[in-house]
């Protein structure tokens, strides 16, 4: 039997799935050939330091939803457990497949190295592996001169509609009998972190579409002005991040649906503004993933290597433990950790604040902090996560030093202490005057509210102002070294945003106009072809 494999990774959907569409549309002679829809559950990945049970549970729910959608067009999802090359070899030995189709993944180091092994193995058998772009990320890209043009072109291309008429039911039935799906294994045994996350978002495309609809038609009205507040952000933000991360929605369908609502003219003023800002952030979503795609090493190595040794040799296990257990003594920081533990989500500003506190006053190296935070985020997206870890901790060299004062952030974004009290009940009776600095309460106030510092609430790990001053001074001294400055230009060349000012593609707020010229498309496609190659560590 001649068949192809569609290898699902971070693209857990049927709609607008280019790999699935092209595998089904491919003709062998004059007859449609069957496709094996495969998901590989890899033990080595789930044993990693950046994975957790909350992510695995979300994945399982998303796979169940994907299986139902595939069934509706007469396809079956085959789940197999093992390392990718071993699983593919088992399939090939049972019945040789003609080719592999998948969508490109910008994952962590393990998935990067796994893809290299799969590519080499398939090459040894002369079996083609065809990959397709997602998120506007361009594989092998070294310079950004045409990146924005390509993003626009991809996002405005027609969505791919996959229908049951593309499937030969009899052939698919025979293939499924040959390769039945395995049962879900006892995968929790692989995990380093199995803490419960009772209030996390549920996986699957059906949930994604419901949440997206509520954002487009209602919640986007509070997007501007609401996304920075840890209280308001839970509803003001789109909450699509875990679904985009797992590919339950395609970036293109989100962009086009958002543009359609804007262009309909049926939005309220604040809603329209919110949707425009949301579109801008979708663009930056891909911009940051491109950084990891272009330089996989930023997951474990300083983007500007002139910062090597700045924090690594001064690791404090005690400070890290107090951060992870919500015992820093700074109420907003500890409240954010508690929310993250319970929900698997936190708004962007509070994420940045956590990284800033960890890497400046606590002076912790970003890599172990990043591994821990990755396990907490249900929406862990390696490209965005590691780019932000480096940017917020100052090791890119090209960004302004970002230091978030947790007391000021609390005053600005939780002025009445509602968020802090919600997640830290022990501080419920602390007067507003002291809610963000409880260690300053007079003894009689401590007694009256039932919060004794050192017993019911810890003293801060360090004196915030002095620790921050020293950290900033050390960072600025390192930034001032000539060799570090010289390396900045290399970082900027590779990762800096370079909008093509002379492009015939006319940008407008929230998207592009429809008069993109043939010359712009030709130039952008030429740039893509030059960079469309397998990533290596040799830059």
Q: So what's the pLDDT on residue 140?
A: 84
Phi and psi torsions of 379, nearest 5°? -95, 25
Q: Which of 442, 424, 426 is nearest to 434 (CA)?
A: 442
For residues 299 and 441, is the Cβ–Cβ distance under 8 A?
Answer: no
Q: Which fold has domain 134-161+204-294+486-514?
A: 1.25.40
∠ CA 276-278-284, rounded to 5°: 110
∠ CA 154-157-163, rounded to 5°: 120
For 382-408, write each residue's pLDDT tens digit: 999 999 999 999 999 998 888 999 999
| CATH class held by domain 305-479 | mainly alpha
Q: Which of 244, 22, 252, 13 is nearest to 129 (CA)?
A: 22
Give the tokens for residue 69. Answer: 């959608």
pTM of the model: 0.91
Low-confidence stretches of the chain (pLDDT beneath 50)? 29-30, 500-539
Q: Where are the domains of the chain?
A: 1-132, 134-161+204-294+486-514, 305-479
Q: So what's the pLDDT on residue 181?
A: 96
Q: So what's the pLDDT on residue 354?
A: 98
Report how far residue 341's alpha carbon sits from residue 91's, in angstroms, rounded to the nearest whole number.
Answer: 39
| CATH class held by domain 1-132 | alpha beta
3-state helix, strand, coil in the chain (%, to 5): 55, 5, 40
Q: So what's the pLDDT on residue 31?
A: 57
Q: So what's the pLDDT on residue 400?
A: 85
Q: So what's the pLDDT on residue 399?
A: 85
Q: So what's the pLDDT on residue 58?
A: 98
Residues contacting 8, CB < 8 A, separation 6+: 37, 38, 39, 66, 77, 102
Report how far residue 480's alpha carbon sits from residue 32's, in angstroms, rounded to the nearest whole number.
Answer: 63
The pairing of beta strand 35-41 with beta strand 129-132:
unpaired
Give the tokens for residue 103. Answer: 């969508």
Mean pLDDT, all residues of the chain:
91
For residues 323 and 362, is the Cβ–Cβ distance under 8 A?
Answer: yes
């Amino acid at each position: 039997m001649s068949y192809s494999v569609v290898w699902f990774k971070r693209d857990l959907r049927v709609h607008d799935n280019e790999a699935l569409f092209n595998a089904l549309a491919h003709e062998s002679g004059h007859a449609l050939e069957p496709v094996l829809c495969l998901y590989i559950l890899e033990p080595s990945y789930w044993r990693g330091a950046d994975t957790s049970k909350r992510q695995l549970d979300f994945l399982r729910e998303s796979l169940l939803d994907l299986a139902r959608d595939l069934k509706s067009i007469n396809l079956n999802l085959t789940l197999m457990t093992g390392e990718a090359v071993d699983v593919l070899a088992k399939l090939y030995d049972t019945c040789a497949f003609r080719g592999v189709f998948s969508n490109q993944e910008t994952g962590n180091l393990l998935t990067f190295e796994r893809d290299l092994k799969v590519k080499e193995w398939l090459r040894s058998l002369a079996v083609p592996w065809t990959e397709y772009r997602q998120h506007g990320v361009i594989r092998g890209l070294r310079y950004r001169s045409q990146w924005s043009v390509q993003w626009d072109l991809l996002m405005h291309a027609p969505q791919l509609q996959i229908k049951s008429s593309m499937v030969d039911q009899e052939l698919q039935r025979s293939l499924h009998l040959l390769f039945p799906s395995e049962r879900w294994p006892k995968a929790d045994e692989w995990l380093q972190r199995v803490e419960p996350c009772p209030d996390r978002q549920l996986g699957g495309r059906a949930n994604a579409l419901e949440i997206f609809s509520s954002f487009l038609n209602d919640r986007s009205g509070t997007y501007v002005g609401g996304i920075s507040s840890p209280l308001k952000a839970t509803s003001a933000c789109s909450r699509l991040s875990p679904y985009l991360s797992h590919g339950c929605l395609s970036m293109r369908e989100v962009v086009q649906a958002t543009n359609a609502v804007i262009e309909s003219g049926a939005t309220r003023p604040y809603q329209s503004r919110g949707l425009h800002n949301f579109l801008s952030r979708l663009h930056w979503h891909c911009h940051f993933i491109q950084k990891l795609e272009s330089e996989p090493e930023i997951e474990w190595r300083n983007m500007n290597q002139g910062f090597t040794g700045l924090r690594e040799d001064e690791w404090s296990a005690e400070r890290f433990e107090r951060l992870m257990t919500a015992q820093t003594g700074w109420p907003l920081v500890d409240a954010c950790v508690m929310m993250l533990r319970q929900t698997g989500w936190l708004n962007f500003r509070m994420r940045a604040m956590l990284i800033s506190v960890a890497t400046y006053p606590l002076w912790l190296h970003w890599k172990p902090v990043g591994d821990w935070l990755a396990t907490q985020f249900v929406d862990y997206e390696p490209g965005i996560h590691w780019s932000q870890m480096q940017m917020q901790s100052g090791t890119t060299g090209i960004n302004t030093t970002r230091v978030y004062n947790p007391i000021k952030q609390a005053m600005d974004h939780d002025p009445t202490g509602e968020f802090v009290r919600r997640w830290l009940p022990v501080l419920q009776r602390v007067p507003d005057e002291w809610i963000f600095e409880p260690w300053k309460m007079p003894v009689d106030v401590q007694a009256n509210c039932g919060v004794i510092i050192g017993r019911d609430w810890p003293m801060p790990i360090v004196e915030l102002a002095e620790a921050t001053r020293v950290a900033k001074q050390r960072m600025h001294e390192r930034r001032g070294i000539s060799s570090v400055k010289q390396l900045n230009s290399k970082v900027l060349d590779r990762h800096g945003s370079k909008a093509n000012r002379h492009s015939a593609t006319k940008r407008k707020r929230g998207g592009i106009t429809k008069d993109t010229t043939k010359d712009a498309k030709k130039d952008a496609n030429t740039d893509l072809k030059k960079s469309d190659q397998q990533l290596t560590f040799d830059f």
